[in-house]
Amino acid sequence: MSFNSKVVIVTGASSGIGAATALLFAKEGADVALVAPNSTKLAAVAKQIEALGKTPLIIPADLANETEAGTVVSQTVNHFGKLDVLINNAGIEVQGSILNGNALEAYDKVMKLNVRVVIQLTTLAAPFLAKTKGNIVNVSSIASTLTSKYPTGLPYYVSKAALDYFTRCSALELASTGVRVNSVNPGPVDNEFVANNKLGDASVINKERAKIAALGFLAKSEEIADVILFLASEKARSVTGSSYVIDNGFLLKG
């Protein structure tokens, strides 16, 4: 699946699924724009891409800041001349519950990055993607189809349900322009997400989650990146408005 001469934006590219995805696209020949707030981590990912003979565009940006998010697409197009693929991967989990009284505060933070930014970037990218007949892949979660085992997970689960719905609605609207929109819905992944979001001891949490997965282990970021690459490729040219689950059989056990 060659992406030679293709231009790809990856948000949340400094670690986890985003970093693995950016590296995979670069291996397949794409020019990649790396977006995340942590410049040091972005530089480390960029160094790996440079080792492949590609020079990525580094865009340090706090996407929760509307002004900073608003420059991502224009910076990419100004630098590379076009845009072929948008990977909306950036996301957070902030815990809050109704009875604890902090559900609304957590909801506002989570929805801003997990949903509002996706809508903003999709809106800005759409005219350029229409020119290249490009596509969008949103990184959602199996949380979109579940109710949280813990009440404090409510904001995150709601945000991913909203993201799936936006994926379908935007896929329908953009179909007339030739732009496809899909989502990848991972189960728990063995990466930095738990640590980055300060959700607890990652080794303990991931071990417990692996017990729930039917296959008995969690996916790696690189495996999620493989599915993202497929959806962005011509091999998926007839796929739009779909949510691809990759969860090691997590949903099978409810």
pLDDT in tens, 126-164: 999 999 999 999 999 999 999 877 788 899 999 999 999
Beta carbons within 8 Å of 161's beta carbon, 6+ residues apart = 143, 144, 145
Asked if residue 245 is part of any domain, the answer here is yes
- Residue 253 is predicted with a pLDDT of 82
Asked if residue 238 is part of any domain, the answer here is yes
Asked if residue 90 is part of any domain, the answer here is yes
213: CATH? 3.40.50.720
Asked if residue 166 is part of any domain, the answer here is yes
- Residue 18 is predicted with a pLDDT of 97
The CA distance from 140 to 162, in Å, is 9
Residue 138 has phi, psi (to 5 degrees) of -100, 135
- Residue 151 is predicted with a pLDDT of 80
How open is the CA angle 96-98-102, to the nearest 5 degrees?
Answer: 45
Q: What's the domain range around 91?
A: 7-249
Please state the domain count of the chain. Answer: 1
pLDDT in tens, 20-66: 999 999 999 999 999 999 999 999 999 999 999 999 999 999 999 99
Asked if residue 1 is part of any domain, the answer here is no
Q: What is the pTM of this model?
A: 0.94
The CA distance from 235 to 225, in Å, is 15
**Shortest CA distance to 12 belongs to which of 31, 38, 50?**
38
Asked if residue 193 is part of any domain, the answer here is yes
Asked if residue 2 is part of any domain, the answer here is no
- Residue 247 is predicted with a pLDDT of 95
pLDDT in tens, 202-223: 667 778 888 889 999 999 999 9
**Shortest CA distance to 184 belongs to which of 246, 252, 113?**
246
Q: Which residues are catalytic?
A: 156
